[in-house]
Chain A
Amino acid sequence: MFYREAGQFKTSYKADQAIFPILQDRVGLGLIIVAALLVPLFGSDFLINSFMIPFLIFALASIGLNILTGYCGQLSLGTGAFMGVGAYSCYKLATIFPDVNILIHILLSGFFAAGIGCVFGLPSLRIKGLYLAITTLAAQFFLEWCFIRIPWLYNYNDSGAIEVPTRTLLSVPITGPSATPSVRYYVILAMIIGLTWIASNIIRGRIGRSWMMIRDMDIAAELMGIKPLNAKLSAFAVSSYFCGVAGALMVFMWLGAAEVESFSINVSFQVLFMVIIGGMGSLIGCFLGAAFIFGLPIFVRALPEMMGLAVNASTVDHISRMVIGALIIFFLIVEPHGFARLWQIVKEKLRNWPFPYG
């Protein structure tokens, strides 16, 4: 009833192959974007800085991991390190070429991550599954060590941390401490929308379909003319590109400075949880998963306050970890496709409402 496509006729291939062929989807997306644009007008700085910005950045990182794990079927535990490669290369670019706009640097830094991703993706040509997960673990620890041991990467700072310089766009500061949360939010929002659009088109296209064939059955895919070398390495490259850009955004637009621990194995796991809970092989799932993982601790913190109970900061941390852990198991058992599948079920129900079956 609410979600009926009956009567929406397509008269050209172009219309039929649009990303959102159904009117309701387009309206819904438009509403979401308008709402996203309005957030800074009504939300506090806290909402933007502690929820909206990290949520968007980690949604992008989840898209990166989802391309590799959800679409191409290669499990990776090295997301954090690939984000680090993006962040450190962006930092180097920004200090070597201070006059070039920072947004260009951020977009370029992804290519460095893509290159490193390809190198560590090479073993995937021989091994897969758990074994591959361990090679990505090797990537994680080796790169972490590089971030500490190669002082050139952080410009020989005594602290070993990278600090974000102030850079402007149209003479408005968009990075550094003097950039206001709203400005940073809008820049990130624009980038995320653009990159998500690119991702969705890559996935719909020839490359994306070759990934999914490799995921579903590699031997069959090879027989049908898909080269595993091209498909897997391209998945590693594209995935690492998105992770790298997310890492650069995380440091430049959110944290403002970073040490190695910002790219630790825990970040890899966090992004993996977003992908699992959000739904593997789904772009909307990345956003839902990221929103959930960032929203839950805030919720757990605020819930007892609303009920008038005082709860220690550490207890909140423990409880949210327990809840996330339990939810991961719960989702794997009950709904392995995560929030994305739930969203589909909701759409289905809306379509048939008020009747139980369509």
Chain B
Amino acid sequence: MRIQSLVMGVAATALAVTGTLSTAATVAAEELYVPSLSYRTGAFAGGGIPIANGFADYLNMLNARDGGIGGVKVNVEECETGYNAQKGVECYEATKGKGALVYNPYSTGITLQLIPKAPVDEIPILSMGYGLSAAAIGEKFPWTFTYPTSYWSQMSSILKYIDSNGGLKGKKIGFIYLDVGYGKEPIPLLDNLAPKLGFEVAKFPVGVKEMQSQGSQWLNVRKERPDWMIMWGWGAMNATAIKEAAKIRYPMDKFIGNWWSSAHADLKPVGDPGKGYLGANFSGIGTDYPALQDVIKHVVSAGNTQANPEDVGNVLYNRGLFNAVIVAEAIATAQKMTGKKVITGADMRVGLENFKLTDARLKELGLEGFTGAISGSCADHEGSGAVFIQQWDGSTFNKASDLISPMTDVVRPLLEEAANKYVADKPDWKGQTCG
């Protein structure tokens, strides 16, 4: 009897699975479909949750306040990747058929896998400040964008900051990084710039499994005695690193995290010992912007968010929101240029290449001073955006520097070289020629 019912159950499940598989790919018309590859589970959820919330909340705010973009509602659908490249590709394959306009993978690993797929499926990728740095070269990567700046450009901005605070020459820079594609990304630039600018690099890889037990890495830091530390960390790695740094009495004001290593979620668990810790950032802090007030009014107060109200305005929430701003601006630009209301991925690509986020436009959007101006072009897919340095005061972040623009003259040729290298062993890679 038991076995029989079990068999029936299994058969029913199988039927249902096949049933759902055949219906899953229905396409809804008259909407702007934006998939959001989020990760609300796993070791990186601490970063993934606020980003996904900020991204969804801004677009939902546009829906509630303006009735969408150009009169068409935006449909944000989340797919859980767990920061896992394989699951990310699964999400991509599952959603690309529904008219996806743009992908924001929030993972360099996933981005790397999607880059070759983008030209084939004609859906652009916006890896906002992460992903493959070489994708900044628009001629070689027509379908990939790294607004507002690439990892390499950002690293050069951080080096500039160090240079203006005591000089670079003869110094030893420690680089602690998550030992995956993301963390390794800026290493070629560091290795390249070290002899040119006269500094020394010591590298401290942190494996994903050791994220929360970094004792030996920091003992090594003590052994090497670097003058500055730069961190490319993510998820649970950040808080642990800052705690360990405090333990070995590493001076916090010589410790700079990149823009994924300096969020409220990373520093809150550390609290006071983290005082003085520096971080790079390119999106404003807090809720004192009219656009954020609109988000609070239309989405958060209305209960249409998954975000904890007190997290609104935090570094990573605003990061996700900023990403949504770029997406919305690109959609609006594409609508204007094509004259269509419901656009396609290919139109979106044109929009991403041509939108201009000037200071005046930022003010119009209610985001004055939120970030530096960005404007893309056919050749420049990173928008040469600048970053500022922020500092943790024990309870929140404050701006500690003005906008620092990257060393474009040094980085750009290196990026071009890397882009050529990427394309070299791919004979049928399609680039584009710009103006």
Question: Is B79's CB under 8 angstroms from A298's CB?
Answer: no
Q: Closest chain A residue to B108 by CB distance? A: A159
* In the assembled complex, A312 has its CB within 8 A of some CB on chain B: yes
A161 to chain B, nearest CB (A): 5
Question: Is A261's CB under 8 angstroms from B93's CB?
Answer: no
Given A298-B24, A303-B16, A314-B41, residue A177 in contact with residue B116 (CB < 8 A): yes
Question: Is A159's CB under 8 angstroms from B40's CB?
Answer: no
CA distance A342 to B188 in the complex (A): 55
Question: Is A161's CB under 8 angstroms from B112's CB?
Answer: yes
Interface readout for A154-189 with B: 1 if CB under 8 Å, 0 if not? 000011110111100000000011100000000000
Stretch of A112-120, A190-198, A209-217, A252-260 that contacts chain B: A252-260
Q: Closest chain B residue to A295 by CB distance? A: B17
* In the assembled complex, A328 has its CB within 8 A of some CB on chain B: no
* In the assembled complex, A34 has its CB within 8 A of some CB on chain B: no
A-B residue pair count with CB separations less than 8 angstroms: 147
Interface readout for A128-172 with B: 1 if CB under 8 Å, 0 if not? 000000000000010001001000000000111101111000000
Question: Is B188's CB under 8 angstroms from A160's CB?
Answer: no
Chain A positions within 8 Å of B38 at CB level: 313-314
Interface readout for A98-113 with B: 1 if CB under 8 Å, 0 if not? 0000000000000000
Question: Is B79's CB under 8 angstroms from A158's CB?
Answer: no
Most interface-central of B22, B89, B185, B418 (chain A CB within 10 A) = B89
* In the assembled complex, A346 has its CB within 8 A of some CB on chain B: yes
Chain A positions within 8 Å of B40 at CB level: 312-314
Question: Is A299's CB under 8 angstroms from B185's CB?
Answer: no
Chain A positions within 8 Å of B20 at CB level: 298-299, 302-303, 305-306
Question: Is B181's CB under 8 angstroms from A159's CB?
Answer: yes
CA distance A3 to B254 in the complex (A): 76
Count of A interface residues, CB-CB < 8 Å: 54
Provide a sorted-by-A list of 12 A–B residue pairs whose CB atoms are within 8 angstroms.
Answer: A46-B25, A47-B21, A158-B188, A159-B132, A177-B117, A298-B17, A298-B24, A299-B17, A306-B20, A313-B78, A317-B82, A334-B2
Question: Is B117's CB under 8 angstroms from A256's CB?
Answer: yes
CA distance A176 to B21 in the complex (A): 25
Question: Is B7's CB under 8 angstroms from A342's CB?
Answer: yes
CA distance A258 to B425 in the complex (A): 17
A19 to chain B, nearest CB (A): 24
Chain A positions within 8 Å of B79 at CB level: 313
Question: Is A258's CB under 8 angstroms from B85's CB?
Answer: yes
CA distance A54 to B7 in the complex (A): 25
* In the assembled complex, A352 has its CB within 8 A of some CB on chain B: no
Which of B's residues lie within 8 Å of A, judged by CB?
2-3, 6-7, 10, 13-14, 16-17, 20-25, 38-41, 45, 78-80, 82, 84-86, 89-90, 93-94, 97, 108-109, 112-113, 116-117, 119-120, 132, 179-181, 184-185, 187-188, 207-209, 306, 418, 425-426, 428
Out of B7, B14, B22, B45, which one reaches A345, CB within 8 Å?
A: B7
CA distance A306 to B119 in the complex (A): 33
Most interface-central of B25, B86, B120 (chain A CB within 10 A) = B86
Interface readout for A299-310 with B: 1 if CB under 8 Å, 0 if not? 100110110000
* In the assembled complex, A45 has its CB within 8 A of some CB on chain B: yes
A306 to chain B, nearest CB (A): 7
CA distance A306 to B26 in the complex (A): 13
Most interface-central of A50, A260, A291 (chain B CB within 10 A) = A50
Question: Is B93's CB under 8 angstroms from A49's CB?
Answer: yes
Question: Is B21's CB under 8 angstroms from A334's CB?
Answer: no
CA distance A178 to B427 in the complex (A): 13
CA distance A306 to B180 in the complex (A): 38
Other A-B pairs beyond A261-B85, A295-B14, 15, CB < 8 Å: A50-B90, A141-B209, A148-B179, A148-B207, A158-B187, A161-B113, A177-B119, A177-B120, A298-B21, A299-B20, A312-B78, A313-B40, A314-B38, A314-B41, A334-B6
CA distance A49 to B93 in the complex (A): 7
Most interface-central of A158, A260, A298, A318 (chain B CB within 10 A) = A158
Question: Is B116's CB under 8 angstroms from A262's CB?
Answer: no
Chain B positions within 8 Å of A43 at CB level: 21-22
Chain A positions within 8 Å of B80 at CB level: 312-314, 316-317
B265 to chain A, nearest CB (A): 16
Question: Is A299's CB under 8 angstroms from B180's CB?
Answer: no
6 A-B pairs with the lowest CB-CB distances in the bound complex, closest first: A302-B20, A314-B40, A313-B80, A49-B93, A44-B25, A177-B116
Out of B14, B112, B180, which one reaches A163, CB within 8 Å?
A: B112
* In the assembled complex, A82 has its CB within 8 A of some CB on chain B: no
Chain A positions within 8 Å of B23 at CB level: 302, 306
CA distance A57 to B352 in the complex (A): 37
Chain A positions within 8 Å of B25 at CB level: 44-47
CA distance A258 to B418 in the complex (A): 20
* In the assembled complex, A269 has its CB within 8 A of some CB on chain B: no
Question: Is A178's CB under 8 angstroms from B22's CB?
Answer: no
* In the assembled complex, A339 has its CB within 8 A of some CB on chain B: yes
Question: Is B24's CB under 8 angstroms from A260's CB?
Answer: no
CA distance A334 to B5 in the complex (A): 13
CA distance A261 to B86 in the complex (A): 8
Question: Is A339's CB under 8 angstroms from B10's CB?
Answer: yes
Q: Closest chain B residue to A173 by CB distance? A: B428
Question: Is A159's CB under 8 angstroms from B428's CB?
Answer: no
CA distance A345 to B181 in the complex (A): 48
Question: Is A342's CB under 8 angstroms from B116's CB?
Answer: no
Out of A46, A177, A299, A305, which one reaches B97, CB within 8 Å?
A: A46
Chain B positions within 8 Å of A318 at CB level: 41
Out of A159, A178, A314, A346, which one reaches B120, CB within 8 Å?
A: A178
Chain B positions within 8 Å of A95 at CB level: 425
Question: Is A44's CB under 8 angstroms from B181's CB?
Answer: no
Chain B positions within 8 Å of A262 at CB level: 85-86
Chain B positions within 8 Å of A178 at CB level: 120, 428
CA distance A335 to B7 in the complex (A): 12
Question: Is B7's CB under 8 angstroms from A346's CB?
Answer: yes
CA distance A296 to B14 in the complex (A): 9
Q: Closest chain A residue to B426 by CB distance? A: A165
CA distance A258 to B86 in the complex (A): 8
Q: Closest chain A residue to B13 by CB distance? A: A299
Q: Which of A21-42 contact B (CB under 8 A)?
A: none
Question: Is A255's CB under 8 angstroms from B184's CB?
Answer: no
Question: Is A261's CB under 8 angstroms from B2's CB?
Answer: no
Most interface-central of A44, A46, A303, A312 (chain B CB within 10 A) = A46
Question: Is B94's CB under 8 angstroms from A50's CB?
Answer: yes
CA distance A346 to B7 in the complex (A): 8
Q: Which of A64-101 contact B (CB under 8 A)?
A: 95
CA distance A59 to B84 in the complex (A): 21
Question: Is B418's CB under 8 angstroms from A158's CB?
Answer: yes
A304 to chain B, nearest CB (A): 11
A194 to chain B, nearest CB (A): 25
Chain A positions within 8 Å of B187 at CB level: 158
CA distance A298 to B108 in the complex (A): 25
A46 to chain B, nearest CB (A): 5
Question: Is A158's CB under 8 angstroms from B6's CB?
Answer: no
Interface readout for A308-326 with B: 1 if CB under 8 Å, 0 if not? 0000111011100000000
Chain B positions within 8 Å of A254 at CB level: 89
CA distance A44 to B18 in the complex (A): 12
